[in-house]
Amino acid sequence: MISDIDKLNCDYQSGSVLLIDKAYGWTSFDVVNRIRSYLKRKYNYKKIKVGHAGTLDPLATGLLIVCTGNKTKEITAFQSLEKEYVATIRFGATTPSFDSETDIDKKYLYNHIKEESFKQNLYKFVGRIRQVPPLYSAKKVRGERAYKLARKGKEVVLEPVEVEIFNIEILEYKMPVVRLLIVCSKGTYIRSLARDLGFAMESGAHLTALQRTRIGEYMLKDAIKIDE
């Protein structure tokens, strides 16, 4: 049986760019490790460089760019490309991780939110904004990942960072759930955007689903699943 990765007919040592449709529950490093292991076994490589160009959270799905061999030198360039996401956000409750990784810690009213006022507040986030990354993120604090400290119950203080939202479209509005198409810069946390939207609407909100659909000109429709 020939896998899709074999059909690509790449010289992985010289360098290749693989578009992967990351599944729910996988970490980005899980994907990298699986591909590295497969290539070493399939092509008898003693050693091969493999890296991803932009982390996707375990609970997120969608496009992940993976580089092999000499193409790993271009990872920074891929990371700087704009990203497109489809985000599902639920209003009326918050979680410590800003998504479904952790349990709801507080509930809020949301019946006062009207579609017109939601639109007005939503579009205020388009442009350059400052956002505080989630405590449950890969940001480093004192040399350790923030999510590791948070899971240990240790106090974590993250400074706000400047990011840019290029465009937001409402795909579905059925309060307390909305689906948004978001185009943004490197470093944007959609979980933080969900949290901030909740506060802007004098309620609370968290991310319940996230799919990355595009990185620069690279499209999710052209990606292969890791099982393939």
Q: Is the dihedral of CA 85, 195, 54, 130 positive or negative?
A: positive
Catalytic hit among 11, 21, 30, 57: 57
> Six-digit token pair at 10?
């790449």
* DSSP one-letter code for 13: T
> Six-digit token pair at 79?
């990371």
Residue 57 known to be catalytic: yes
Q: Going by DSSP bridges, is the β-strand pair 161-174/177-184 parallel, antiparallel, or unpaired?
A: antiparallel
Q: Is the dihedral of CA 211, 147, 38, 8 positive or negative?
A: positive
Give strand pairing partners of 145. Answer: 140
Q: Which residues are catalytic?
A: 57
